[in-house]
Structure 1
Amino acid sequence: MSERNAAVGHPPEPAAALPQQALSGGTIRIAARGVQLLLGIGTGMLLARLLTPAEFGLFAMVGSLTAFVGSFRDWGLPAAVSHQHKLDDGQMDALFWINLRLNLLVALFMALMAPLLAWFYGEARLTAITLVMTLGMFAIGLSVQHESLLTRQMRWGLLTLIETSALFVSSALALGLALAGMSYWALVGQFMANLLLKSSILWLASPWRPRRRSDTTPGMSVGSILAYSRNVTVFRVLTHIGRNLDRVVVGFSGGPAAMGLYDRSYQWSTFPVTNIYGPLLGVAVASLSRVQHDAVRYRDLARRALLPIFATCLPALAFMAVEAANVVALLLGAQWLAAVPLFRVLCIAAFVGCTSTVTKALYLSAGSTARQLRWGLIAAPLTIAAVLVGSIWGVYGVALGYSAATIGLAYPSVRYCLYGSHLRPCTSGGFSGGPLPQRCSPLRHYAALATVCRASYRCCLNCWSLLRCSRPSTHLALYGCPAIVRSCTNSCKMHLLAQGGSSGAAWPEANKPMSTQQLPSLALAMCVRDEESFLAANLAYHHALGVSRAYIFLDRCSDSSPQIARSFPWVDAIPCDRDPAERYMSSYQLRCLQKALELARADGIEWLLHLDADEFARGDGDRPGQHKKRAHQADLRVMLAAVKPTTAQVILRPQEAIPTPLAPDDPFWKLHFFQKRGVFKRKLLDPSSNILRLLDMPLGHDKGKSIVRTAAQVRPESAHRWQLAIDARSVKPPALASEMRGLHYHFAVVDARQWYEKHRKFSEYPDQWEKGRPVRFPKQAWKEASVTMSPAEAHAYFSRWVVVRRYRLLWSLLRGQIVHDTFVERMLAQLKSG
């Protein structure tokens, strides 16, 4: 046999060795797929936190076109090559040149579709994205024959190595581009790198090379191969239209953000089937094709190939559907919580649809592509109709319509596929280990699926409970990323709805599901000067965590802060302008705190908490050994009920937010990164001297606020601490009995306007921060610059120097210098949805 023929053909295997070879090939693919899955999941989780849903949506809009083109770009030739029992190099040469012409037509089609796609979605950016991705589609088309030959020769180890190498390089490139702020081009770069690398390595790995033939030998007869591939291609096109029209409708009607949410929900809901069944499809088709004329061995191989797929995919999908909120928070992060209802519905559809997905291997291995095409002609119109009807009710309606069609067609598709084949519905011990009745009703099929789902859910839920109860050190060892840990361990039983206005009416009262007997009462004291951006959310949040009374001292407010405060019935809005004699800010705050302490004692309040409008407190009730039966596990009253009777002051642990890039309409609670241990150090420009200085202190205050027991004989020492009220001027008062519990979140401003106004307010007071010492930079410099900067200059400075770039945040997160905490956002989202 010549070198070329050896490359095309394959050594003859004994018939008895085929099951073992198929099993070993499947084992290699599954083992290597574990590495690919970890890499893919990790990359997807990081990219979801570095990019926005709208950026994913732009890529998904073009992805619908590339998936459509991918359904016919190779004309089904790889499957046809694997199916053929005998194949010579003349046929391979002819197929290569046919495939090359098809790829040129596909590339031309995509280039012409680029402006039309931009016009259809109303996004001019799609033109450039489509043209770039056209090159990747053309490149991978050149290696189709090489990949099909390696598949035909069952060289699973080499194929897996190629896929893993391309995935690793493309993932690293995508993360690098995302950290560099390249937005959706990071996703395009990942797509291009994966295809280009895979195509190049396939050419290097396969010894076969195409050549031109001027003769017309019998080996050039490819009619049967093209007939086989034609049916496969038409079925792919129909299936693609039926399964991807939902995303086209969502992108057209909802825009990039809705498209991103839906596409990520769909991709992750189909992740188990795609990444477990997909790699095994080639193994299954190549193995089953060799024994297609032996019914007994065909059934045996079908059982070995398909049973592991069901055993792996169904439990995972059942768990993902039930724990959708936690799974979305873990995989995608808090900014994707709006996708929870979509993700849950699509997981249910993927669970039932898994049974019909595996029919592809049976059709291809048996050569029944004509029957597969006929089923596609039936299923595609029904799926399209269901999606269009569901679109009347918006994005969620599209998901429901698609899921209803998938679930409704699952059993008929399996029944139709098995009719006339070596397999029968509910038969032959092939999938169960023993004989079953020859005929079985659809209701029994679905009952069996429900039983598997229930058992799988209970098994996975037990594992999930063990994971949630493990210590933080175990989570760190497992995930290595504090952001993922917190998203995994905290409960996320809500989804993020549209943001409301700044008025108090936009924030509903929190429901208290448990009796408040034996829990101490808690009041909030706050000095307010034009804080409409924070006030409404602050009051609603703290009322949900146990604050029953609030004393709001209003200082010369010129915005809607007074109206917001008075809209809450449990708030006392007290006009209290700063006296000109109170030159320092601390003097005014101490007077207000003393007044609040007197009011709290008169109202019978047991504890008093002082916060600013941009500060949020929480208890530590969600930690191991603490109270866990409340709807809001971080209830401040639960924490106070656990302190010692001799404790007069509870000091909250500080969590200083880091200003990060947000969209213009994003609220402050979208800030999730907080300084953990030490200080998040970086260099900043001094706006008054244009000198770079080292920032090695928190931008806010490194002391958390405190909660004081009103029955204690105390007086305010500062805005953060209390001291014993002892009238001994020459003797320092003894330390107040204190405990450190809970957390104190100090949020940063989210845009240049707020930053500018905040420091202009500071300029009214003569308080000094020593600008010359690095430890006190930059607050004094900002205060002085605020009275000389124009709004445009302030915006430029804020965007360039104050906001921290994403790559620095990620690096500090992995080093453990900062934490990713979404508790405040999730609490506010729950209040919004309530």
Structure 2
Amino acid sequence: MSSGGSQPNVRALGRSAARGGAVTLAGQGLRIGIQITSIILLARLLGPADYGLVAMVTAVVGIADLLQDFGLSRAAIQAPSITRGQRDNLFWLNLAFGAAAGLTVFVAAPLVALLYGEPALAVITRWLAIPFVVGGMAAQFRAGLLRDLRFGVSAVIDVVGPLLGLVVAVAIAAAEGSYWALVAQQVVASGVMALGAILAARWWPGLPKRHESVRTFVSYGLHFLGAQTLTYVSMNVDTVVVGARFGASAAGLYNRAFQMMMLPIRQLTWPAAKVAMPVLSRLQDDAEQFSRFLVRGQTILLNAMVPFLALAAALAGPVVEIVLGPMWVDVVPVFAVLAVGGIFQAAGFAPNWVFMSTGNTRAQLQFALVSRPLVVVGVLLGSIWGVIGVAAGYSAMMALIWPASLWWVGRVTGISVRPWFVSGARTVVAHSGAAAGAGFVAALVGPDHPWVAILLGGVVMTVILGLELVLWPAFRHDARQLVRTRKLLGRSRREPVSVGTEG
């Protein structure tokens, strides 16, 4: 990674990133609303066992989602340039991988049922094979939208799919009250998003072209796939262990806690990566600008997520009462522990941006080979103490992996990670301290008034954060960074930006 670069081009990329961030975050705001609505409505129409059955299947077969993409969409986004022929070849590869993944899941259905001793899982597994096929078909169309910085179109697709999936799920749940609502939700959402990407694309694949080499894309994708597979296994082994050891109802309770924890993480890290990846890929030869964009991106990401996760951990009781209802009270301690781990999990996403945007997926795979087995060990050891032990084991490993990933990135790329670590740790400490104060005060309200507890906790946290801004100059500097970024977002909406791509 070298120094230097064209300043006007960097400014253009900054405005593109700001505009993309504004549009993407707006779309994600709608998507978060859909997700929250889904959690609230379906939790009152379905029981823990319904969630448990579907969660037990997806924990095992969800790895096929990685296989159907094979990292090729990421490779297409990251590449400095891509020809039309290469894009065509990548489409056919993704289609083949998607079909193979779907067929494998379909054939493996009896084995999934046998693993858990639940015959109903076989038919669920067969239906959940469909999204892998359509996902492989649409992978390069979706990658093309991001590569061409068409964030608005991508945001619309990512909202409409889940919305229609929710409508279908609620209709089925209200009529039947069974797990088929959750199955239909996944199938419909994936199908709509795939169709939207295909219709919105400005290209249509031709026949495969033997003279257009995609070897570098496959190499990138192979290492990325290895790292992501290990990450997936480590993030889903907890559900498998809970389902196999404690049954469908326990798996459903754990799944609801885990999904609530992951809601702000998934809804903010993916859109942030959608914006950051194309920009960092273009800045990878300008070390100074690359590092500056990276630290600022992490600051924005963590200040958007950590307050929610920290406050959720501190106010787990009222949050679960309002979101899921009284029948899910056993979720409270599990959710509180997982939310703490979610803070460190969120901090660990930015190192992956560096691996992927610089093409260092081999180093990413090497780190996954070292770090991800630790999560499996933590979960297995924690299961000795039941479901809460599984959550504690998972969260403890997330806290360990974050600083280790920073060290690994610095060793591989030569980037100074000290400012990066200090900035992240400052954000975690500031918001966690404020949330702890909020939790202490809200606990005085008692369990009979959850809305009052949340309102009071939010006010107390805001006051404490205000005091931290006054007394803590470095934290105040982070706040100024966020304000400057907001101004850039507003300016980007007024200034036309065009960043072309090859292909």
TM-score by length of 2: 0.84
Q: Among 272, 288, 298, which residue is 1:306 paired with?
A: 298
Indicate yes or no: 2:54 matched with 1:59: yes
Cα distance in structure 2, aligned partners of 1:364 and 1:287: 12
Cα distance in structure 2, aligned partners of 1:149 and 1:156: 11
**Is the 1:71–1:233 Cα contact (8 Å) retained in structure 2?**
yes
1:450 alignment partner in structure 2: 429
What is the 5 A alignment of 1:223-622? 223-421=215-413, 423-427=415-419, 449-458=428-437, 488-489=450-451
The CA deviation at 1:253 is 0.8
1:162 alignment partner in structure 2: 157
The CA deviation at 1:97 is 1.4
Instruction: Identify the structure with the greater helix proportion.
Output: 2
Instruction: Identify the structure with the greater strand proportion.
Output: 1
**Is the 2:269–2:346 Cα contact (8 Å) retained in structure 1?**
no
Indicate yes or no: 2:112 matched with 1:133: no
Cα distance in structure 2, aligned partners of 1:177 and 1:132: 15
SS in 1 for 2:285: coil
Q: Among 195, 216, 222, which residue is 2:210 paired with?
A: 216
Cα distance in structure 2, aligned partners of 1:57 and 1:138: 24
The CA deviation at 1:490 is 6.7
Larger Rg: 1
Unaligned segments of structure 1, at least 5 residues: 1-12, 433-444, 470-484, 493-834
**Is the 2:165–2:189 Cα contact (8 Å) retained in structure 1?**
yes
Q: Among 15, 39, 43, which residue is 1:20 paired with?
A: 15
Render the CA deviation track for 1:218-261: whole Å, top value 9, x for unaligned: xx111111111110001011111111111101000111100000
Per the alignment, do residues 348 and 155 of structure 1 end up closer, same or farther by CA in structure 2, a change over 3 Å counting?
same
Cα distance in structure 2, aligned partners of 1:488 and 1:293: 52
SS in 2 for 1:154: coil
Letter in 1 for 2:32: L
Letter in 2 for 1:116: L
Cα distance in structure 2, aligned partners of 1:321 and 1:133: 32
1:524 alignment partner in structure 2: none
State how many pairs are aligned.
446
Cα distance in structure 2, aligned partners of 1:491 and 1:319: 11
**Is the 2:99–2:136 Cα contact (8 Å) retained in structure 1?**
no
2:85 alignment partner in structure 1: 90
Render the CA deviation track for 1:50-101: whole Å, top value 9, x for unaligned: 1101111011011113421112220001110011111111111111111122
**Is the 2:40–2:323 Cα contact (8 Å) retained in structure 1?**
yes
Render the CA deviation track for 1:385-415: whole Å, top value 9, x for unaligned: 1211122222222122212222222211222
Per the alignment, do residues 23 and 304 of structure 1 end up closer, same or farther by CA in structure 2, a change over 3 Å counting?
farther
The CA deviation at 1:24 is 1.0
Cα distance in structure 1, aligned partners of 2:273 and 2:368: 19
**Is the 1:329–1:487 Cα contact (8 Å) retained in structure 2?**
no
Cα distance in structure 1, aligned partners of 2:151 and 2:266: 18
Cα distance in structure 2, aligned partners of 1:325 and 1:262: 15
1:177 alignment partner in structure 2: 172
The CA deviation at 1:144 is 0.3
**Is the 2:314–2:439 Cα contact (8 Å) retained in structure 1?**
no
Cα distance in structure 2, aligned partners of 1:327 and 1:124: 34
Letter in 1 for 2:309: L
Per the alignment, do residues 487 and 101 of structure 1 end up closer, same or farther by CA in structure 2, a change over 3 Å counting?
farther
1:473 alignment partner in structure 2: none
Unaligned segments of structure 2, at least 5 residues: 1-7, 455-503
List structure 1 runs of 4+ shifted beyond 6 angstroms: 459-462
**Is the 2:71–2:222 Cα contact (8 Å) retained in structure 1?**
yes
1:476 alignment partner in structure 2: none
The CA deviation at 1:334 is 0.7
The CA deviation at 1:447 is 7.6
Cα distance in structure 2, aligned partners of 1:301 and 1:451: 22
The CA deviation at 1:354 is 2.1
Cα distance in structure 1, aligned partners of 2:82 and 2:417: 34
Q: Among 92, 96, 101, which residue is 2:96 paired with?
A: 101
2:193 alignment partner in structure 1: 198
TM-score by length of 1: 0.51
1:604 alignment partner in structure 2: none
The CA deviation at 1:212 is 1.3
Q: Which has the higher contact order (CA 8 A, sep 6+)?
A: 2
SS in 1 for 2:418: coil
SS in 2 for 1:419: helix
